[in-house]
Amino acid sequence: MDNNTVLAKNLVNYSCKIQKKEKVLIEYPPCAKNLVKAIVKEVYALGAYPFLHMTDSALERSLLFGTSVEHSKFCTKYMQPIFEDMDAYIGISGGDNVYETSDVPQKQMQIHSLYYSKPIHHDIRVTKTKWVILKYPTGAFAQLANMSSEAFEKYFFKVCNLNYQKMNDAMTPLKKLMEKTDKVHILAPNTDLTFSIKGIKAIKCAGEMNIPDGEIYTAPVKDSVNGKITYNIPTLYDGKRFDNVCLEFKEGKIINATCSNGGNLSLNKILDTDEGARYVGEFSLGLNPHIMEPMLDILFDEKICGSIHFTPGSCYNDAYNGNQSAVHWDMVLNQRKEYGGGEIWFDDILIRKDGIFVLEELKGLNPEALK
């Protein structure tokens, strides 16, 4: 069985658990047609109904340059009944240039985010459908990983076709621990951060919504975050790269935000998109044993083994802390020793040091146990 067929079966049967007569929307770029063919075949085999919507980042850039609030609302009006009629969504992205939208004015990106992305993808797709998103391996993707196209394709399918059921089972003790924890303390170079996760659910992510996958997330109590965090993994937002983002918090709110590359003005404009953008909607631990280095793609980087991400913007409904925003910006801190190390403490008990779990009941989540 070829790699595309294996991945398609996992997406349809394990991630989305498609049932007979369900309607499945597949969004995809031209480069992913072989995978899409395999997905369509698998959906039909279950007696379900596939629907196709092709996207292209270069064409999207052209639309974004001229968009307006009125136009974005029209786009939402056009797409809303389609998304609302679907039972499941499989979103594939990929293209020749990850910086395709880097020169689109920030104002245009914010309009698109507020009046299209949020109502379609957050308010409908995330909350009302079974969904999974992934990126297809391209030459541009391989360049980000500093690999040849052939080597990256092999790596991609190894990571994406991981035994996620085994990972899901191993996550259970961490989920239980997080759901009885109040105080969290994060330490790393230029990072000393405290917050509470009391009363907020922890959600296991093992191949059901993201591919690749491997994280368990919750959210901080909205006004509980205090201190500073410095992210050591570069991040892309709206096609712009930001390095060494440093956020300072007081009573949950980001009161100061800087970066070494990308521009402090651009960074703060994003954080000023709306009131919720300066509060945090997600705290997550990365667990994928095959993802060890960053590649400037958040679907991979947020799963880096030994990392955390601490996300300005909207929370998820299943780990709800009340924060709403058009922004959801996953920023990653790698705490493995070669990246400067770090510690995670739950209620004054050390649970992970330098990216390795130290509690006996959590050692099944260390890389050697999951591979």
Whether pLDDT at 366 is above 90: yes
Over residues 188-216, the pLDDT tens digits come to 999 999 999 999 999 999 999 899 999 99
Whether pLDDT at 144 is above 90: no
The mean pLDDT of 79-105, rounded to a whole number, is: 93
The mean pLDDT of 248-263, rounded to a whole number, is: 95
In terms of Cα–Cα distance, which of 116, 125, 316 is closest to 204?
Answer: 316
Over residues 336-362, the pLDDT tens digits come to 999 999 999 999 999 999 999 999 999
Contact yes or no for 262/128 (Cβ under 8 A): no
As a whole-number percent, the residues of the chain with pLDDT over 90 amount to 88
Q: Cβ neighbours of residue 63 under 8 Å, at least 6 residues apart?
A: none
Distance of alpha carbon 300 from alpha carbon 204, whole angstroms: 16
Residue type, 366: N
The mean pLDDT of 241-261, rounded to a whole number, is: 97
Whether pLDDT at 54 is above 90: yes
pLDDT of residue 307: 98
The mean pLDDT of 289-296, rounded to a whole number, is: 92
Distance of alpha carbon 12 from alpha carbon 73, whole angstroms: 31
The mean pLDDT of 290-301, rounded to a whole number, is: 92
Over residues 4-52, the pLDDT tens digits come to 999 999 999 999 999 999 999 999 999 999 999 999 999 999 999 999 9
Distance of alpha carbon 276 from alpha carbon 328, whole angstroms: 10
- Confidence band (pLDDT; 50, 70, 90) for 119? very high
- Confidence band (pLDDT; 50, 70, 90) for 120? very high
The tokens describing 339, both together, are 């990246």
